[in-house]
Amino acid sequence: MLQLNQIYKVFNEGTPDEKVAINHINLHMAPGDFVTVIGSNGAGKSTVMSVISGKLSPDLGSVNIDGKNLTEMSEHKRSSFIGRVFQDPMAGTAPSMTIEENLAIAYSRVKNRGFGLGVNRKRRDFFKEKLESLHLGLENRLQAKVGLLSGGERQALSLLMATFTEPKILLLDEHTAALDPSRAELVTQLTKEIVSQYGLTTLMVTHNMQQALELGNRLIMMDKGQIIFEADQEAKQELTVEKLLNEFQRIRGEKMNNDRAVLI
């Protein structure tokens, strides 16, 4: 489904601030794979996401989805089949527009936008039905502006908007990191449900090791722009937070320097 071949990306090349963000990464995901990505700050996780989504263009290497090379395809064209949820709850929704209008924008992603009404009765029923699956009561607040929702509600809505058109690839970029523990748990559960319901091929970046172990069927650990550890389905079931930390220490010969990662 998704193939990253020899992706290489360097920032500020030729200056004292030069930083190799991704150093020849290869990643192959089969349809339905749910890969969680962990790693400390600056490991290149988010850069990988940006390269897949088309926000950044790699200096070397290629991105293939469904056997098609999209390395040069623009971000907005790609996004008709790549769903994204961002870390910032503000980023995934349009705050001054209503819930149903936001859903309508997401709904139109797979088609050409025209002069038809964004929200008609048929769609409204469809949106209601989808919102009910979130169990947040949002189905009764279709006309409410999204800016009035709490961070958790927004993030759940973003998740729904990113997934209900069944994209080929779903990218989750620390989408629970800005939420309080109980809300984060809720969104994590929703993620689990939705991904398995549609069988989405998913790549999720997280700082929360527990979450990385709980979700998905594969796990990769990144450091300094490289994938330093990979666990497939079987290996992943055996993993614990303790083992992961030890693994990091063994490979890098140093302690994982991320407070958040260690604490959780």
Partner 1 sequence: MPIAIFGSLEAGALYALMALGVYLSFRILDFPDLTVDGSFVTGGAVAAIMIVNGFNPFIATIAAIIAGFLAGCFTGLLHTKGKINALLSGILMMIALYSINLRIMGKSNISMLSEETVITKLTEFWKGLKIDDAIQGGLSAIGISGFVPKTWAILFLMVILAFIVKAGMDWFLKTELGLALRATGDNETMVRSFSVDTDFYKIFGLGLSNALVAFSGALVAQYNGFSDVGMGIGMIVIGLASVIIGEAIFGAKNIIRATAAVIGGAILYRIIVTMALRVEFLETGDMKLITALIVICALVLPKVIDRQKEKQRKRKRLKAMKQAESEGRGQNLAAVKSDL
Contact 32, 233 (CB under 8 A): no
Told to check if 119 binds partner 1 by CB under 8 A, we report yes
Take residue 116 and report the two structure tokens written for it: 């038809």
Find the helix or strand (DSSP H, E) in which 230 lies: strand 226-231
Told to check if 106 binds partner 1 by CB under 8 A, we report yes
By rule CB under 8 A, what string of x and - marks binding of each residue 155-174 to partner 1?
Answer: ------xx------------
Using DSSP's 3-state secondary structure scheme, residue 65 falls into strand
CB 258 → partner 1: shortest distance, Å?
25
CA triple 45-159-187, angle to 5 deg? 85
Told to check if 117 binds partner 1 by CB under 8 A, we report yes
End-to-end CA distance of the chain: 32
Q: Among 12, 30, 95, 210, which residue sits at the site for partner 1 (rule: CB under 8 A)? A: 95
Neighbour tally for 36: CB within 10 Å: 25
Q: Which is nearer to partner 1, 102 or 188 (CB)?
A: 102
Q: Which is nearer to partner 1, 105 or 241 (CB)?
A: 105
Q: Which stretch binds partner 1 (CB under 8 A): 41-49, 69-77, 215-223, 231-239?
A: 69-77
Cα within 13 Å of Cα(259), Cβ side: 0
Q: In what order do the strands lie in the sheet with 19-29?
A: 19-29, 2-11, 60-65, 68-69
| Spatial separation of the C-alpha atoms in residues 204 and 49, rounded to whole Å | 9
Q: Which is nearer to partner 1, 86 or 229 (CB)?
A: 86
176 contact partners, CB below 8 Å, separation of at least 6? 155, 183, 184, 187, 188, 206, 208, 211
221: phi then psi, degrees, rounded to nearest 5: -115, 135
Q: Which is nearer to partner 1, 92 or 225 (CB)?
A: 92
By rule CB under 8 A, what string of x and - marks binding of each residue 201-230 to partner 1?
Answer: ------------------------------
CB 101 → partner 1: shortest distance, Å?
6
Told to check if 118 binds partner 1 by CB under 8 A, we report yes
Alpha-carbon Rg for the chain, nearest whole angstrom, is 19
Q: Among 44, 58, 92, 225, which residue sits at the site for partner 1 (rule: CB under 8 A)? A: 92
Told to check if 14 binds partner 1 by CB under 8 A, we report no
Told to check if 115 binds partner 1 by CB under 8 A, we report yes
Contact 194, 72 (CB under 8 A): no
CB 165 → partner 1: shortest distance, Å?
9
CA–chain centroid gap for 50, Å, is: 10
Q: Which stretch binds partner 1 (CB under 8 A): 9-17, 105-113, 131-139, 240-248?
A: 105-113
Which residues contact partner 1 by CB under 8 A? 53, 74-80, 82-84, 86, 90-97, 101-102, 104-106, 108-110, 113-119, 161-162
